[in-house]
Structure formats: structure tokens, C-alpha cells
């Protein structure tokens, strides 16, 4: 299975595609290693995570080039990934030292009652291509810190930065890598020795995984898609709002779950906002990020390019106007600003995953809130306003797992609860103390002074 440069198609390297038997063997190795790994002093697990962070940092220049070419991103996005992955490792090293139990009151004299946290066992991690390093590390690092072992399956689009690189960072059998497509992923989900499945990807695939895992009564955590909204109120600073809007929709070709796919703008500022957003979009240079100084690189593959082009074409047929941008020569897609979008079209209702900014004008805050919440997704939304109290009041009425006032929708930190509701997620949250809930189970443990008395 080859990895390719997303701009040129050049082969970057190859990995061996795993068979179902390979998955079974990987899970077996991880399961065999887990009890001893969990029994180590927390300082040893923390040290292994810090060692992985040091190895990653020492290879930063090499990894940067790999991410740029394998994901089609600009160098700045690659630098972010490397830094954020290191942050996940250091945060997880600290997590290893967190208390794993609490003393509970008891109504039985002589009973000492505890709730203790235990690792789940083997965690199956299925990760996406858009941020392969950091989204993989978001699962691998805390799961290992808390005494689990992990079997990681990266996307076939990023087998190197999402898979092989991880194998270089960790020693022993605590982290296993398998490579391949749906058959490999399905075996990980259904394997009797994987205690938990953590999937990051599309809502369609997430539903299928939830059905499989649910049938097996297996813990599952899903970080899925979003149809996120950026609300621009009529008192917003125009320059700030348009900059936030451009970054929210266009960064990394719009290929993230936290991209803004809907711009909901109050009428008083709408014309000026659209003009400034269009100016910024038209000024972004698109090309090969490995050989040129560009703002956007290629789409990840032909399927994503074609889907976005079709969605844009359908919207135009329904009355929308494209003010700038759109599909160029594949795989490059220019950032587009679209007005007069019919709310019934796919461009408005579905996750776009391309650099397209659909704009809808609303009369007031109440209409903006109604339009934002009119979606089955619930990941992240943002509100831009000059009045923080006004922004907070609107933000608290928006449906979603995350909301930002006066900032872009794409936000992520190692120590915060990251995740969505509705069709955007199922299960817990990643980040900080939420990882304790995500990757452990609680057990009640008691000790009682003898004698005890029962009726028979």
C-alpha cells in the first residue's frame, strides 16, 4: 500500500497492508502486554510518553516535510500538528500521575469503600487523514498513560504520518499498528479482545461502527463530522469578522470537522462582510505547499474534489451565486464565497469538507440562533460581536459541544473537553480530565473488618 504526495501523486513510501490475521496477531500482542504495562509505576509510563515526545521533536524537520506532502497541507499546519502532538504526549504524562480512586462513605460499620479507576484493556483507535499525527496522539497518549495498550489503524491516505511514525516513537508491544481499509477496521471493531473503539471520521462510518460495537456491548467513542456555523452580529468589527470567517472556512482546504460550513450574518453588516470575505478569499494563493509559498494546498483525493464541485454546482443550480473561487484544475480547489444559498441544498445541510464559505443573511439574533440550531450536527459554533455579553448570551443558546465568542471555529487544546453531540459524536470527550472518563472504567472495591452477620 503506497503513500503519495497529494499535489504530485509521487510515491513517498509504502507499507504492508494488514490482513485480518495480522489484526488478530496485533491485538493478541497488545492484550498480552497490557497487564504488565498497567502494573508499571506511573512514573515509568510517563517517562515512555516523554521519550516519545523527545523523539518526535528530534525529527521535527523530517516529519514536517512528510505531513506537508502526505496530507497536502501548508508547512504551518504541519508545525501545528507536531507541536500539538508533543503537547498531547506531555499532557498525558501528567495524566498518568492523577489519582485513580476515591474513598466513598458507607452505611456499613467497619467497611472501607473505594471507587478505583482501572484501564479498559486494549483500545482500538481508527484515525482520519486530515490531522493524522495529532488526532492519533489524542487517543494513543492518554490511553497508554492510563494503563491501556493500543492498536492503531490510520487512514489509507496517511499510512506514514498516521501510522509508521507512531511505531518509531514507542517501544515494545504496547502500541501496535495495522494498515488497511474497511475490512481491517471492521475486524478491530469486532475483535473480542478490543475493549474500546475510538473512531474519528465521518458520521456515516461512525454510525456503522456504533451499530457494530453496540451489538457487542463494547465501549465506543466517536468524534464525527460537523456542519458548524459562524454567526456575525451587526456590531462586529468587520476586519476581525472577515479574517475569522476566512480562517474558519478555508484553513487546510476546509478539510476539518471544525471548519465553518455556514456563515450566518446579520443584515446590517452582511454586504460589507461578504465583500471583505471575498477579497480575502481571492487573495489566497493555491498550489503545491512543498515547493511553493501558498496559502492552500491540494484536496486530499479526487473523490473529495468531485464531491465539493458537485455540491457547489447543485447550489448554483438552485439559485446561489459564487462570488469567487471554486474547482480549478484537480486536485486544487480555490476558496469560494457563495451567497443566496438555498437552505435545502447539500451545500448548506451537509458537511462540505472543502474551502467553501456559504453565506446566509438573517434579520436578527433570534433568526440566527434558529438557523444555527437547524441541523442534526452539533460540534462547534462561533459568534463574532463587539459586545461580549451579547456574544455570550447568544453562544449559550447554540446547540453543540463547543462554542467560541470572537474567535474561529477551529480550536483545539490538549487540556480541554473536545467533542460534539447529535450526529457529531457519541461517547465521552477527549482532553484533560475527560480522558480519565474516556479511557478507564470505575470499580467499587470494599474491605470489611470481620466478623459480619447475615441471616443464613
**Other CB atoms closer than 10 Å to residue 365's CB: what's the count?**
18
Of residues 70, 81, 257, 276, which has the active-site annotation?
257
Counting every residue written for the chain, the total comes to: 456
Please indicate whether residue 257 is annotated as part of the active site: yes
**Other CB atoms closer than 10 Å to residue 32's CB: what's the count?**
13
Distance CA 161, CA 62 (A): 11
Cβ pair 404, 66 in contact under 8 A: no
Helices (H), 320-399: 346-349, 365-373, 388-395
Whether omega before 160 lies within 30 degrees of 0, making that bond cis, reads no
Of residues 81, 223, 276, 365, which has the active-site annotation?
223
Task: Tell the burial category of 449 from Cβ atoms under 10 Å away from its Cβ (0-12, 13-18, 19+).
Answer: exposed
Q: 219 Cβ partners below 8 Å, 6+ apart?
A: 120, 195, 196, 197, 213, 427, 441
- Share in percent of the chain as helix, strand, coil (round to 5): 45, 20, 35
Distance CA 91, CA 393 (A): 32
Distance CA 454, CA 233 (A): 68
Give the Å distances, CA to CA, from 247 to 68, 230, 256, 287: 18, 11, 12, 17
- Tell me which DSSP letter residue 451 carries: P
User: Known catalytic residues?
Assistant: 223, 257
Amino acid at each position: 500500500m503506497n503513500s503519495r504526495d497529494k499535489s504530485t501523486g509521487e510515491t513517498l513510501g509504502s507499507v504492508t497492508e494488514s490482513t485480518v490475521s495480522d489484526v488478530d496477531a496485533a491485538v493478541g500482542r497488545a492484550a498480552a502486554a497490557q497487564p504488565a504495562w498497567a502494573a508499571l509505576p506511573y512514573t515509568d509510563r510517563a517517562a515512555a510518553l516523554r521519550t516519545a515526545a523527545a523523539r518526535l521533536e528530534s525529527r521535527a524537520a523530517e516529519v514536517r516535510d512528510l505531513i506537508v506532502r502526505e496530507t497536502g497541507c501548508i508547512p504551518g499546519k504541519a508545525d501545528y500538528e507536531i507541536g500539538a502532538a508533543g503537547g498531547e504526549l506531555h499532557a498525558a504524562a501528567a495524566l498518568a500521575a492523577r489519582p485513580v480512586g476515591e474513598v466513598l462513605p458507607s452505611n456499613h460499620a467497619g467497611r472501607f469503600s473505594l471507587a478505583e479507576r482501572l484501564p479498559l484493556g486494549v483500545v482500538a483507535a481508527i484515525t482520519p487523514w486530515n490531522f493524522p499525527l495529532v488526532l492519533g496522539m489524542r487517543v494513543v497518549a492518554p490511553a497508554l498513560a492510563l494503563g491501556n495498550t493500543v492498536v492503531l489503524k490510520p487512514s489509507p491516505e496517511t499510512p506514514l504520518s498516521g501510522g509508521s511514525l507512531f511505531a518509531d516513537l514507542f517501544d515494545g508491544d504496547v502500541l501496535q499498528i495495522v494498515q488497511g481499509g474497511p475490512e481491517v477496521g471492521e475486524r478491530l471493531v469486532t475483535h473480542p479482545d478490543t475493549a474500546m473503539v475510538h473512531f474519528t471520521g465521518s458520521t456515516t462510518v461512525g454510525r456503522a461502527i456504533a451499530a457494530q460495537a453496540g451489538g457487542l456491548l463494547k465501549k465506543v467513542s466517536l468524534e464525527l463530522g460537523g456542519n458548524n456555523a459562524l454567526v456575525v452580529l451587526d456590531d462586529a468589527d468587520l476586519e476581525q469578522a472577515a479574517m475569522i470567517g476566512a480562517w474558519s472556512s478555508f484553513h487546510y482546504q476546509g478539510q476539518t470537522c471544525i471548519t465553518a460550513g455556514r456563515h450566518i450574518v446579520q443584515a446590517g453588516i452582511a454586504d460589507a462582510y461578504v465583500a471583505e470575505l471575498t477579497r480575502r478569499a481571492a487573495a489566497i494563493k493555491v498550489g503545491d505547499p512543498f515547493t511553493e509559498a501558498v496559502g492552500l494546498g491540494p484536496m486530499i483525493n479526487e473523490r473529495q474534489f468531485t464531491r465539493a464541485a458537485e455540491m457547489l454546482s447543485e447550489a448554483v443550480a438552485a439559485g446561489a451565486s459564487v462570488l469567487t473561487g471554486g474547482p480549478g484544475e484537480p486536485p486544487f480547489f480555490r476558496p469560494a464565497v457563495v451567497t443566496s444559498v438555498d437552505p435545502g441544498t447539500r451545500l448548506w445541510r451537509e458537511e462540505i469538507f472543502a474551502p467553501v464559505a456559504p453565506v446566509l443573511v438573517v434579520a436578527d439574533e433570534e433568526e440566527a440562533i434558529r438557523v444555527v440550531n437547524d441541523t442534526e450536527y452539533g460540534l462547534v459554533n462561533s459568534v463574532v460581536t463587539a459586545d461580549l455579553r451579547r456574544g455570550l448570551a447568544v453562544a449559550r443558546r447554540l446547540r453543540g459541544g463547543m462554542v467560541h465568542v470572537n474567535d474561529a471555529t477551529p480550536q483545539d487544546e490538549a487540556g480541554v473537553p473536545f467533542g460534539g453531540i447529535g450526529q457529531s459524536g457519541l461517547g465521552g470527550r477527549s482532553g484533560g480530565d475527560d480522558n480519565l472518563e474516556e479511557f478507564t472504567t470505575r470499580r467499587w472495591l470494599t474491605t470489611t473488618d470481620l466478623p459480619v452477620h447475615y441471616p443464613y
